[in-house]
Amino acid sequence: MNDLEARIAWSGLVEPGDPVAGALVESLGPVDALDLVARTARADAVLLPGLTTVAHGRVRRGLEGWAQRWGADTWRRHRDWIEALSGRVVVPGDPGWPAGLDDLGLARPMCLWVRGADPAPLLARAVSVVGSRAATSYGEHVTAELCAGLADADACVVSGGAFGIDAMAHRAALTADGGTVAVLAGGLDRPYPAANARLLSAVAEKGALLAEVPPGTAPTRHRFLLRNRLIAALGQVTVVVEAARRSGALSTAGHATALMRPVGAVPGPVTSAASSGCHHLLRDGAVCLTSAADVLELLDGTPADSGIAEPLLGARERIVLDALPVRQGTAPEGLTRPCGLALPEVLAALGTLELSGRAVRSAGRWRRA
Amino acid sequence: MNDLEARIAWSGLVEPGDPVAGALVESLGPVDALDLVARTARADAVLLPGLTTVAHGRVRRGLEGWAQRWGADTWRRHRDWIEALSGRVVVPGDPGWPAGLDDLGLARPMCLWVRGADPAPLLARAVSVVGSRAATSYGEHVTAELCAGLADADACVVSGGAFGIDAMAHRAALTADGGTVAVLAGGLDRPYPAANARLLSAVAEKGALLAEVPPGTAPTRHRFLLRNRLIAALGQVTVVVEAARRSGALSTAGHATALMRPVGAVPGPVTSAASSGCHHLLRDGAVCLTSAADVLELLDGTPADSGIAEPLLGARERIVLDALPVRQGTAPEGLTRPCGLALPEVLAALGTLELSGRAVRSAGRWRRA
């Protein structure tokens, strides 16, 4: 048995993100770690030297749980199954393995079950776009605009394949011939929700469909929550378009924050419950996003369109900018009164505004750029 | 002539916020400073000892400008006029003078022309609520809700008496029997816009109508921009409900920031140009406001309703909170897998959640509060 095969077996034994299994596999390697499970299943003696009492107990309990699911040939069945789906398995170290997952540490998936393109190149520049299943037409409209803009800028759209925002995100990326990746909570043999099966097939065909659990695994509530950590880890930025206060999208945002990934939220009407989770994120420090340009700014770290140097403008610069005529220029002296500022302050502000491209000078007179 | 009379005269001579006049009045007192204007008007010799060359030139130019408007009895005409309007004048040092204006330094108004109640007690707890004249029905609805909530919490609503958000802010405060103050850019003899005359009369009757310029003064563009600094200084918090990218409400927000007052913005649909200025403010660090409770939190410094301890929750706490059952409790060990966390981490998170009142423990089992 090699590492790939052992990781396939591990992914069928553990619940997603199990840190005890993660620690065991990281320290012994997948093959030797799996051997402990097999020996536990056979009731062979298993020695766990060098562990504290607490760790020893947790590993022991883990081994006993995994041993109950252990079957020497189960992994082969899973591998044949994914091959029958024209899919494959990618493991850490493979060129197709997305580096972002390594930030999950011990909660890193054992392997990725893949249908479609190699994840790593697709995800080199990726934004996770998530939101409510119960999206409003406003939320779907904004999602479509955002994701079309991301596709145009060659950024891959990562989402969860669910109804509402997720589905619109994939659809908009596909329509704009962009890359898109759907991460499922269950096995790839059962696209969930079933009503999105055709959409998910299209994602597999033009992008990639990913799962960390083998074919045949049911998508349960806690697998959904843990699937969210993969969505957060696969995008360099996470965007929440619409989310109620209890939306799973907020768990994705929480994972992204824990992973030190920037989180952005799209505002909406304060009268809309579907935006209340986004407003909560905004109060909590998420970046307010209103366009694909704003998302790309977060992704690439360069300021978007007209917002260029505005964050650099102080109150003084703003007051002078407000008072600055659009057409005919004015002498700086003409700005002191309307601005309530002394001439040196006006001159300093004009200098800053000129540097940021918002004011232009011509023959000693100033106007807006 | 006493200080009150001299300040009345000054308010008719200078443009709002003139820092040179402010410096002269602060250093010599209003009476002696005014004497310099009268002497300049009579072409008497005026000595300005102890000034640098630059300051000397600015004061000299100031005096020449003011001297052209100087009339020994003009102030009396203005005073009689405000009395005919059943109004009066409040100056720094009067009990009615709102302390917030002193933060404007040399740009502090010379005096306040008042119709209605004494400003200071009315403004002891005040929120400035501003926004677009071209408000949408969404913006007006949110303004009405916010201002009714502020009135219920005994907070005064300060605004500019304009169409749209301003008018709705005053109207909602009046309807809820709350305090409200309108700050006009022109003289109090000409409520502007004229179509709001009846509303502004009601504000004068139940709250207060303020201006820094004497009756008879026209509201010009730059007087509007400078009037905004008064709105920003009179509220302890400034709230922008709806604003396009060029809205005067953004100048009010800029003044509030310069005065170190907290600024909040109400989000709206990103598809609405009337909210784009608010979103810009949010990207710039304004607080996202969705309800009167959020505004009161900003005003009083205590967290609003359900947001109570959430800003304190880290990513770990959120993940555990997400996984925590609502009905039947679970043992902490049952949370390690769904959360992808080790037991000590789960226990630490549960402790924090319990402290913040979001999780409850019963017989060793945990559930959401």
Overall pTM > 0.90: no
> Between B257, B271, B311, which is nearest A141 by CB?
B271
- Whether B303 shows a pLDDT value over 70: the answer reads no
Q: Got the DSSP string for B167-206?
A: HHHHHHHHHTT--EEEE-SS-TTS-SSGGGHHHHHHHHHH
- For chain B, the average pLDDT equals 91
Q: Mutate which of B59, B64, B288 to test chain A, going by most A C-beta atoms within 10 A?
A: B288
Say whether B254 and A318 touch across the interface (CB within 8 A): yes
The pLDDT, as a whole number, for residue B222 is 85
Residues 285-304 in B contacting A (C-alpha not used; CB under 8 Å): 287-291, 294
> Between B18, B287, B314, which is nearest A283 by CB?
B287
The pLDDT, as a whole number, for residue A345 is 77
- For chain A, the average pLDDT equals 91
Percent of chain A beyond pLDDT 90? 72
Say whether B310 and A15 touch across the interface (CB within 8 A): no
> Between A269, A284, A323, which is nearest B268 by CB?
A269
Residues A26-42, mean pLDDT to the nearest whole number: 94
**pLDDT confidence band for A54 (50 / 70 / 90):** confident
More confident residue, B111 or B361: B111
Where do runs of H (alpha helix) occur along chain A?
3-13, 19-28, 30-41, 53-69, 74-84, 119-122, 137-152, 165-175, 197-206, 221-234, 248-258, 276-283, 292-300, 315-323, 333-339, 343-355
- Whether B5 shows a pLDDT value over 80: the answer reads yes
- Whether B336 shows a pLDDT value over 90: the answer reads no
Contact list in B for residue A147 (CB cut-off 8 A) is: none
Q: Mutate which of A106, A283, A333 to test chain B, going by most B C-beta atoms within 10 A?
A: A283
Q: Write down the architecture of domain B310-368 according to CATH.
A: Orthogonal Bundle (1.10)
The pLDDT, as a whole number, for residue B328 is 86
Which pLDDT tens digit goes with each residue over B201-242? 999 999 999 999 999 999 988 899 999 999 999 999 999 999
Q: Closest Cα partner for A11 from A198, A213, A193?
A: A213
Residues A32-40, mean pLDDT to the nearest whole number: 95
Say whether A322 and B107 touch across the interface (CB within 8 A): no
- Whether B368 shows a pLDDT value over 50: the answer reads yes
Residues B278-295, mean pLDDT to the nearest whole number: 96
Helix (H) or strand (E) holding B264: strand B263-265
Contact list in A for residue B283 (CB cut-off 8 A) is: 287-288, 294, 307, 311
Say whether A251 and B15 touch across the interface (CB within 8 A): no
Contact list in B for residue A298 (CB cut-off 8 A) is: none
φ and ψ at residue A18, rounded to 5 degrees: -65, 115
Residues B334-347, mean pLDDT to the nearest whole number: 80
**pLDDT confidence band for A313 (50 / 70 / 90):** low
**pLDDT confidence band for A303 (50 / 70 / 90):** low
Distance from CA of B308 to the nearest CA of A (A): 12
- Whether A297 shows a pLDDT value over 60: the answer reads yes
Residues 35-64 in B contacting A (C-alpha not used; CB under 8 Å): 58
Percent of chain B beyond pLDDT 70? 96
Distance from CA of B188 to the nearest CA of A (A): 20
**pLDDT confidence band for A302 (50 / 70 / 90):** low
Lowest mean pLDDT among A175-189, A223-237, A276-290, A343-357: A343-357
Say whether A18 and B245 touch across the interface (CB within 8 A): no
Predicted ipTM beyond 0.85: no
CA distances from B129 to A101, A369, B171, B272, B281 (A): 46, 30, 12, 19, 14
Contact of B356 with chain A, judged by CB distance below 8 Å, is answered with no
Say whether B18 and A340 touch across the interface (CB within 8 A): yes
Contact of A225 with chain B, judged by CB distance below 8 Å, is answered with yes
Q: Mutate which of A66, A319, A353 to test chain B, going by most B C-beta atoms within 10 A?
A: A319
Say whether A283 and B288 touch across the interface (CB within 8 A): yes
Percent of chain A beyond pLDDT 70? 96
Extents of the domains making up chain B: 3-72, 99-306, 310-368
Say whether B338 and A258 touch across the interface (CB within 8 A): no
Say whether A250 and B107 touch across the interface (CB within 8 A): no
**pLDDT confidence band for B83 (50 / 70 / 90):** very high
Q: Taking a C-beta distance cutoff of 8 angstroms, is the pair B268, B291 a contact?
A: no
Q: Taking a C-beta distance cutoff of 8 angstroms, is the pair B286, B265 a contact?
A: yes
**pLDDT confidence band for B337 (50 / 70 / 90):** confident
Residues B143-163, mean pLDDT to the nearest whole number: 98
Reduced to 3 states (helix: H, G, I; strand: E, B; else coil), residue A99 is helix
- Whether A53 shows a pLDDT value over 90: the answer reads no
The pLDDT, as a whole number, for residue B309 is 36
The pLDDT, as a whole number, for residue A311 is 44
Please give the CATH number for the structural domain made up of A99-306: 3.40.50.450
More confident residue, A346 or B159: B159
**pLDDT confidence band for A308 (50 / 70 / 90):** very low
The pLDDT, as a whole number, for residue A306 is 41
Q: Could you give the CA distance from residue B41 to residue B29 in angstroms, rounded to a whole number?
A: 19
Residues A190-201, mean pLDDT to the nearest whole number: 94
Say whether B307 and A338 touch across the interface (CB within 8 A): no
Say whether A315 and B257 touch across the interface (CB within 8 A): yes
> Between B17, B319, B336, which is nearest A251 by CB?
B319
**pLDDT confidence band for B327 (50 / 70 / 90):** confident
Residues B294-320, mean pLDDT to the nearest whole number: 69
Nearby residues of A233 by Cβ (< 8 Å), 6 or more positions away: A100, A101, A103, A104, A255, A259, A261
The pLDDT, as a whole number, for residue A267 is 98
Contact of B269 with chain A, judged by CB distance below 8 Å, is answered with yes
Say whether A254 and B222 touch across the interface (CB within 8 A): no
Residues B273-279, mean pLDDT to the nearest whole number: 97
Contact list in A for residue B314 (CB cut-off 8 A) is: 258
Say whether A58 and B291 touch across the interface (CB within 8 A): no
The pLDDT, as a whole number, for residue A307 is 38
- Whether A310 shows a pLDDT value over 50: the answer reads no
Q: Could you give the CA distance from residue A274 to residue A165 in angstroms, rounded to a whole number?
A: 11
Contact of A369 with chain B, judged by CB distance below 8 Å, is answered with no
The pLDDT, as a whole number, for residue B302 is 60
Percent of chain B beyond pLDDT 90? 73
